[in-house]
Amino acid sequence: MRILVINGSPHPKGVIANLLKAVTEGLSQNADIEWIDAGKLNIRPCLGCMKCRRDPNGICVLPADDGHVMGQKLRRAEGLIIGTPTYWGNMSAQLKLIFDRNVPALMGEKPSGTPLPKHKGKPAVVVTACTTPWPFNWIFAESRGALAAVHEVLKWSGFKTIGRLAQPGTKNRPGASEKHLAKARRMGEKLNRF
Ligand SMILES: Cc1cc2nc3c(=O)[nH]c(=O)nc-3n(C[C@H](O)[C@H](O)[C@H](O)COP(=O)(O)O)c2cc1C
């Protein structure tokens, strides 16, 4: 299975990166894994012109940048492993930029106007981390907000979210915890069975 891993954190070796790495450790040897650090990409923000939606190939009108490259990678992916730090109870801007620039790679519209998911039935897992300690990360929709925001993209794209993980309290206990790393590995193993 061709798995695209997107680290939505600007830290290539942060908590999110470690959790994502643990998910990939659970994958079988046969998995074809590609890892992208969103923070290293050069992507202009979406203009909101909607021209990509009318283009038969769904291509963005902006000059060539990593937004286009990510579109090709998303189209080819058979499974997604997405990580984002919780920023303002949401996904990171770095990650959202990839999704904003690539709506037609993910979903279309039927002539009736109803959404047309382009990745129906493919599996995805999502991990996040935040400084807010448990249970406030959940009560105040910090990590819950970030997971829900990514799920929104995945849902309309047709991906089935088969695993979600949120590590709270990263200020007082920096680094990925053993408990969360173990859960991340199990999520990778679950992806194999899909
Ligand atoms: C711009 C910004 C916004 C943030 N917003 C939140 C937030 O809403 N809630 C929270 O608990 N932590 C928030 N944080 C803290 C990060 O989620 C936390 O440091 C996380 O562990 C970072 O993971 P990383 O090191 O893998 O990037 C924010 C950090 C930044 C830089």
Percent of the chain with pLDDT over 90: 96
- d(C-alpha 132, C-alpha 106), whole Å: 31
47-94, pLDDT tens digit by residue?
A: 999 999 999 999 999 999 999 999 999 999 999 999 999 999 999 999
Query: What sections of 62-158 are H helices per DSSP?
Result: 66-76, 93-100, 103-106, 136-139, 143-157
> By alpha-carbon position, which residue is closest to atom 16 of ligand 1?
130
Q: What is the DSSP letter of 101?
A: T
Q: Which residue has a Cα nearest atom 20 of ligand 1?
A: 130
Q: Which residues line ligand 1 (CB under 6 A)?
A: 9, 11, 14-16, 85-89, 129-132, 137, 142, 170
pLDDT in tens, 104-132: 999 999 989 899 999 999 999 999 999 99
Our mutation pick for probing the ligand 1 site, out of 37, 88, 91, counting the most ligand atoms within 8 A of Cβ, is 88
State yes or no: pLDDT of 174 exceeds 90.
Answer: no
Residues 6+ away with beta carbon under 8 Å from 78: 1, 2, 3, 122
Report whether 86 contacts 142 (CB < 8 A): yes
Atom of ligand 1 nearest to the CA of 10: 27
Which of 23, 130, 136, 147 should be mutated for ligand 1, with most atoms under 8 A from CB?
A: 130
Which atom number of ligand 1 is nearest to the Cα of residue 145?
A: 8
According to the CATH classification, is domain 2-192 in 3.40.50.360?
A: yes
Cα–Cα dist 33/41, whole Å: 18
Pairing of strands 107-109, 115-117: antiparallel
